């Protein structure tokens, strides 16, 4: 035992000395490990924080303005529905809930309230002899609630005493009931059982008002019902209920209610499943004790809504985090490879002097464990900070959103952190295992010239990776999107029917990069042959060095190409998503601002045969809108249901009437909406009053083409207007048009439809405005013009709401953080590669200097080598990133309906 401890102590000292002797390398490795841990951990941390926010929002919903705390459970038994019950059965349920039921709910119990009510009785003055509807004071119930005295203040009188076997029953009544009926403390009344069978003598209870009360705090969480519900309840002590009421009535409880307030302050997202299971178990056991009892109010519905609305975010973030994680692991492999290569001579000497492979690997394992522990601690702190930063993401590299997340360390994040440690350990130890097999002789042989090609070239990994990447692109081409719509995925959009499709970009980048590295030595041999007759010694040496020892620069070149290509892809994806959000919202609204003007309707007398005349509508002229400060142009747009008749078929759709001169100045338009420009389409409407633009799906359904005629029936309020329309243009998309909702779309001259209808009809006004227009100022300007019945819609508020959606913030935050991390790691990796390359070749460079190379030639030699690596990696990475963006980003458009996929993505390359 002592010998083993001494050996461990010796190994530990060697590890500490080695780490201290190579501080720069240790810091670089630690930085890579910390980044890897942080990037992997912040996904479950962010998902948990978002889920917690969603959970709090769900629990914060107040039904019927209830003041009940979110984690309150209310069970009840309603005798009016299922029959009254004896007190003993009701109290058995109370005992179960208080003893074991509350514990099964899974939260600390803060408050437990029982509430019992007797059947209803009509209340009469004491001296009444005729019990009729005319002289009754109301229908009341005896009631008892636990801990009631502590929740009320007595306005008059005192607490009721326990009733004896005879004499009046002392009760408490509410202040509002006393005021309404005019009751004073000390007055006596009679309760009459109006529900007694006709052949029996009705029960009568004499009562006396002992006191009048009102609640101390009506908003207190104690009140399972609003205090106003207690107006017709006569509060009695528990002894009165059990000793006076219960012996007389066989079934004396008409309402049993149990109200449990639990402490949910420490509830986390991981507790949801346990809480749902506990509530179901208690509800089931309640049903066995008291059939027909119900869980009337609880957080169960909110928890179920939460469960339905979450679950896919973390998987989605992991899918987008895979490329960055691979880059981080590549950086770790680069740094570890540089370290092991530097130590190969040391390892070989140790092996030749008797050290076993196990001892050498043990040193590497202990060193890796120490670094991993430091990385786990620092990475956890960094992950918490990154999660907060992601919660403030508004757009790519924009962290200005004013949102806050509750970030807390949780089990999944720790498990992911440990997994990252494991991957880092493998990445660090594996090269040492290979190096531990070398002796001085084999090390010198390998150093003189590489013995074999890299393992991935021998295994043809580049071509093997191209197979799943190519198949993934084929699947995307067939599927059209990375996510199947709801109708194709069993009624619900399935984000992860084939999660491997998310790996296609990373696989494609790696396959192309490895294939390029296979060709690179041949390219460099050809380049060195071209330079053999030149006078540039430095360039020739650099070309021959890269051709003879390609394995020395494979890892940094893989890191560089992958980083540049995935960074171009990441930045382009973020830019595309950003601009598409604006496109999507402007397409939905149609312009900067859309107003609906109902107009003012006037009825001018009787029509034919005495029927009421159709109303005449008056509207604010378009010129009035253009005079408002900040409004640059305005156009009328009428949107009405329509049916097209052609080729014996009826096609339902939507008619959009436009002012062709003004519409092009206000409408949102993209070049891919139609084969022609918007101005050309509007000019086509000038050919004739019956000219009509139609959607492509209408032509597909009917077989018509441009120039053909068809009949169109437009629904205007209660009347139909028939038009003979001629097709003069076709479009695929049109602002505010969604084929799934609208069917076919017909765009024509608005004046034509108004003339056919005999006057203007309610329509929209689309406005083009200057940036920064104040909506309140616009509303005030509209009010000053006495515009009536108008509604406003604009895209900017929709955009602002979408920008702080948790899933969007998480995606953009992850893209931003990953982009920055990848850039920093790649720069650091190349710096380390250059530094270690210089150290490794220090003697070699001295020999070149000794045989006659000038300092200028030496500088050209080293600079040319690095420049070629950087330029080739940068150019290939950029080209690969652009190609990948153009090919893959269109498939990333996701949504649970067809409307969410309109308009389609326009890929925007992030050139800056």
Helix locations, 532-652, DSSP H: 537-548, 554-589, 622-626
pLDDT at 445 over 60: no
Place of tokens 């206000």: 666
Going by C-beta distance under 8 Å and a sequence separation of 6 or more, which residues neighbour residue 564? 826, 873, 874, 876, 877, 878, 880, 881
Confidence of residue 731 (pLDDT cuts 50, 70, 90): very high
pLDDT of amino acid 65: 45
Question: Phi, psi (5° rounding) for residue 716?
Answer: -115, 105
- Average the pLDDT over 674-703 and give the result: 88
Q: What is the pLDDT of residues 648-680, one digit of tens each?
A: 788 889 999 988 888 888 899 998 899 889 889
Q: Which residue has the higher pLDDT, 332 or 751?
A: 751
pLDDT of amino acid 200: 74
Q: What is the mean pLDDT of the chain?
A: 79
Q: Which residue has the higher pLDDT, 150 or 611?
A: 150
Q: Which residue has the higher pLDDT, 313 or 268?
A: 268
CA distance 849 to 861: 11
CA distance 440 to 457: 27
Q: Quote the distance between the C-alpha of residue 480 and its chain's center.
A: 23
Token output for 720: 């139909």
Strands 169-174 and 204-215: parallel
Strand intervals (E) in 647-697? 649-658, 691-695
Confidence of residue 311 (pLDDT cuts 50, 70, 90): low
Q: What is the pLDDT of residues 884-896, one digit of tens each?
A: 888 888 877 766 5
Q: What is the pLDDT of residues 157-197, one digit of tens each?
A: 999 998 887 889 999 999 999 998 888 999 999 888 887 77
Closest CA to 295 of 544, 101, 463, 123: 101
Contact 389, 449 (CB under 8 A): no
pLDDT of amino acid 145: 92
CA distance 793 to 551: 61
CB atoms within 10 A of CB 893: 20
pLDDT of amino acid 607: 46
Closest CA to 333 of 681, 694, 816, 833: 833
């Amino acid at each position: 035992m002592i010998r083993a401890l001494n050996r461990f102590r010796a190994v530990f000292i060697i590890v500490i000395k080695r780490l201290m002797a190579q501080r720069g390398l240790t810091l670089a490795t630690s930085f890579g490990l910390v980044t890897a841990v942080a990037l992997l951990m912040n996904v479950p941390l962010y998902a948990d924080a978002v889920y917690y926010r969603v959970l709090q929002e769900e629990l914060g919903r107040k039904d019927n303005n209830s003041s009940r705390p979110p984690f309150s459970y209310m069970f009840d038994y309603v005798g009016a529905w299922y029959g009254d019950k004896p007190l003993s059965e009701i109290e058995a349920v109370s005992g179960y809930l208080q003893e074991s039921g509350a514990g099964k709910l899974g939260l600390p119990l803060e408050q437990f309230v029982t509430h019992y009510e007797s059947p209803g009785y009509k209340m009469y003055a004491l001296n009444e002899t005729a019990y009729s509807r005319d002289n009754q004071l109301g229908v009341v119930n005896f009631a008892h609630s636990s801990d009631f005295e502590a929740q009320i203040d007595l306005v008059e009188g005192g607490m009721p005493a326990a009733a004896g076997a005879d004499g009046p029953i002392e009760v408490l009544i509410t202040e509002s009931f006393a005021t309404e009926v005019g009751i004073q403390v000390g007055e006596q009344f009679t309760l009459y059982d109006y529900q007694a069978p006709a052949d029996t003598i009705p029960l009568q209870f004499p009562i006396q008002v002992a006191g009048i009360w009102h609640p101390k705090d009506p908003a207190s969480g104690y009140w399972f019902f609003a205090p106003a519900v207690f107006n017709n309840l006569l509060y009695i002590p528990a002894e009165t209920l059990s000793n006076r009421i219960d012996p007389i009535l066989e079934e004396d409880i008409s309402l049993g209610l149990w109200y449990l307030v639990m402490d949910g302050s420490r509830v986390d997202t991981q507790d949801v499943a346990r809480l749902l299971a506990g509530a179901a178990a208690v509800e089931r056991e309640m049903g066995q004790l008291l059939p027909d009892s119900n869980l009337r109010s609880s957080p169960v519905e909110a928890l179920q809504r939460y469960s339905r609305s979450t679950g896919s975010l973390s998987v989605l973030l992991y899918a987008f985090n895979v490329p960055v994680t691979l880059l981080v692991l590549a950086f770790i492999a680069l740094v570890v490879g540089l370290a092991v290569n530097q130590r190969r001579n040391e390892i070989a000497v140790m092996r030749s002097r008797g050290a076993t492979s196990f001892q050498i690997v043990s040193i590497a394992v202990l060193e890796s464990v120490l670094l991993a522990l430091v990385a786990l601690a620092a990475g956890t702190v960094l992950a918490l900070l990154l999660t907060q930063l992601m919660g403030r993401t508004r757009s790519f590299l924009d962290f200005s959103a004013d949102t806050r997340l509750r970030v807390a360390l949780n089990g999944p994040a720790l498990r992911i952190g440990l997994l990252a440690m494991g991957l880092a350990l493998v990445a660090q130890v594996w090269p040492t295992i290979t190096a531990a097999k070398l002796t001085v002789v084999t090390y010198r042989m390998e150093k003189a010239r590489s013995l074999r090609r890299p393992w991935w070239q021998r295994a043809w990994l580049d071509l093997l990776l191209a197979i799943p990447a190519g198949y993934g692109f084929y699947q995307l081409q067939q599927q059209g999107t990375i996510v199947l719509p709801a109708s194709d995925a069993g009624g619900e959009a399935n984000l992860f029917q084939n999660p491997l499709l998310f790996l296609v970009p990373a696989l494609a980048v790696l396959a192309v990069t490895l294939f390029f590295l296979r060709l690179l030595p041949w390219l460099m041999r050809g380049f060195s042959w071209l330079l053999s007759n030149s006078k540039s010694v430095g360039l020739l040496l650099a070309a021959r060095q890269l051709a003879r020892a390609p394995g020395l620069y494979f890892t940094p070149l893989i890191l560089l190409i992958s980083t540049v290509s995935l960074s171009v892809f990441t930045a382009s994806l973020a830019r595309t998503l950003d601009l598409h959000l604006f496109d999507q919202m402007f397409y939905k609204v149609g312009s900067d601002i859309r107003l609906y003007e109902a107009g003012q309707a006037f009825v001018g007398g009787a029509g034919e045969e005495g029927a009421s005349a159709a109303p005449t509508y008056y509207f604010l002229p378009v010129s009035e809108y253009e005079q408002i400060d900040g409004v640059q142009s305005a156009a009328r747009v009428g949107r009405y249901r329509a049916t097209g008749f052609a080729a014996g078929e009826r096609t339902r759709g939507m008619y959009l009437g436009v002012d062709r001169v003004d519409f092009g100045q206000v409408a949102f338009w993209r070049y891919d909406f139609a084969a022609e420009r918007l101005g050309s389409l509007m000019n086509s409407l000038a050919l004739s009053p019956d000219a009509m633009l139609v959607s492509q799906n209408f032509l597909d359904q009917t077989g018509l083409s441009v120039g053909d005629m068809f009949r169109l029936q437009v629904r205007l309020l209660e009347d139909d207007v028939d038009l003979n329309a001629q097709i003069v243009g076709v479009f695929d998309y049109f602002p505010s048009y969604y084929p799934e909702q609208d069917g076919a779309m017909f765009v024509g001259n608005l004046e034509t439809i108004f003339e056919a209808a005999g006057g203007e009809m309610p329509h929209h006004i689309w406005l083009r405005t200057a940036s920064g227009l104040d909506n309140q100022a616009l509303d005030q300007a509209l009010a000053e013009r006495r515009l009536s019945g108008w509604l406003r819609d604009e895209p900017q508020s929709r955009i602002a709401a979408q920008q702080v959606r948790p899933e969007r913030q998480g995606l953009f935050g992850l893209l931003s953080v990953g982009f920055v991390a990848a850039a920093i790691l790649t720069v650091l990796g190349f710096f380390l590669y250059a530094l270690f390359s210089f150290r490794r070749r220090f003697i070699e460079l001295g020999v070149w200097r000794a045989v006659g190379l000038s300092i200028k030639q030496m500088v050209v030699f080293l600079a040319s080598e690095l420049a070629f690596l950087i330029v080739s990696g940068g150019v290939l990475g950029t080209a690969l990133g652009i190609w990948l963006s153009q090919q893959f980003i269109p498939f990333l458009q996701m949504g649970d309906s067809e409307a969410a996929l309109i308009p389609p993505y326009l890929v925007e390359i992030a050139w800056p």
